[in-house]
Amino acid sequence: MANYRDVPAEPGTERAETSTSTRALIVDPSADSNIGFGEVATPVAGPHQILVGVQYAALNYADLNNARSGRVPVGAPLGLDAAGIVLRGATDGSGPPRRSRVVLFADGAFAERVAVDVSAVAEVPDGVGLAEAAALPTAGLAALRSLRSAGVGPGKRVLVTGASGGVGRYAVTLAALAGAYVVASVGSPARGDGLADAGADEVVEGMAGINEPVDIVVETVGGRQLVRAWELLAAGGSLQSIGWTSAEPAVFPPYATVGPPKTLTSYVNEFDAAADLAQLVRLVAEGAVVPEIGWRGSWERFDEAVDALRGRRVAGKVVFQLSSHA
């Protein structure tokens, strides 16, 4: 298993620290996917930031949206999730020191070098691969935090929609670890592969065959599934609305929202993630969470990965290896 001693000693560290540009996957409107390679200015780390030499990065559905939504400007690097080696520690002395292996959650993660606030990184223990660590942040944080805020625990019935995807698989495992009964909803029987091993008590196709009320919903699909999930939610329950991959409107029948109190809560990942990232990598180190990497390859093949994610052919996560480390 790679650790910081056997990872090539920060290839060209000195050059990497001083070079004024860095290769990145950027918003590129001339490309079909709106994503392409470019050179961006090497980020300058602030006093509370570290400079990381990225080795692996994970693609999220959010990146596909960010490439087109205008949230990330044209020419700016995409990405949120990465793992690598600290090239330069924070000058205020906080956070992991130079040469540490870290996972990070930050805008612009699809770049060879990323400056990130120490509040958004965690050290990766020996025994956890950097590829597995990179697969954690966006999806793992959404699953962990939404389940926590919904009050997951023993005896709760948890419905996870889009359970074959990044957020979904982590939510299945984390809910099961908390002692909940987990119903995993997927688009087709084949998309349910591995979910029983990940912790699902039931795997259902769409929303068919769910007859008993649920206490918590981790909802990533939106549209009709959101409406049906709301109907299935028991009094006192919590529906966490995390994503909307269906891109369909949700049309509630009249009076659907009238009755004994239950909540529909919107969710967004905040960047202050160090403690939760540390918890996630610890769970991986213990073998309690096993990141499912359904697509793994060089970032030179990002178009292939984007197609696979869009085409719902990825089980769990897409992880890129940056070419300088291939």
Ligand X SMILES: NC(=O)c1ccc[n+]([C@@H]2O[C@H](COP(=O)([O-])OP(=O)(O)OC[C@H]3O[C@@H](n4cnc5c(N)ncnc54)[C@H](OP(=O)(O)O)[C@@H]3O)[C@@H](O)[C@H]2O)c1
Contacts of residue 61, defined as CB under 8 A and 6 or more positions apart, other chains included, come to 165, 166, 243, 245, 309
Shorter beta-carbon distance to ligand X: residue 42 or 161: 161
How far is it, in rounded angstroms, from Cα 13 to Cα 53? 8
By CB under 6 A, residue 208 contacts ligand X: no
Among 24, 35, 62, 210, contact with ligand X (rule: CB under 6 A)? 62
Q: Single out the segment in contact with ligand X by CB under 6 A; choices: 6-14, 83-91, 117-125, 239-247.
A: 239-247
Would the CA dihedral through 36, 80, 221, 302 be positive or negative?
positive
Q: What is the CA radius of gyration of the chain?
A: 20
Q: How far apart are CA 172 and CA 281, in angstroms?
A: 17
* 66 touching ligand X, by CB under 6 A: no
Question: In whole angstroms, how close is the CB of 139 to ligand X at the nearest point?
Answer: 5
Is 58 within 8 Å of 126 (Cβ atoms)? no
62, 167, 205, 242, 296 from 135: Cα distances, Å: 14, 10, 25, 18, 10
Which positions from 257 to 276 touch ligand X by CB under 6 A, shown as an x/- string?
----------xxx-------
| Residue (16 or 184) nearer to ligand X, CB | 184
Token pair 């918003």 in the structure block, residue: 27
Among 22, 42, 49, 245, the residue binding ligand X under the rule CB under 6 A is 245
With CB under 6 A as the contact rule, the residue among 27, 50, 51, 242 that binds ligand X is 242
What separation, in Å, do the N-terminal and C-terminal C-alpha atoms of the chain show? Answer: 16
What string marks each residue from 149 to 188 as x (binds ligand X by CB under 6 A) or -?
A: -------------x-xxxxx-----------------xx-
Q: How far is the CB of 14 from ligand X (least distance, A)?
A: 37
Decide if residue 306 touches ligand X (CB under 6 A).
no
Residue ranges that bind ligand X, judged by CB under 6 A = 60-62, 65, 138-139, 142, 162, 164-168, 186-187, 191, 220-221, 242-246, 267-269, 309, 312
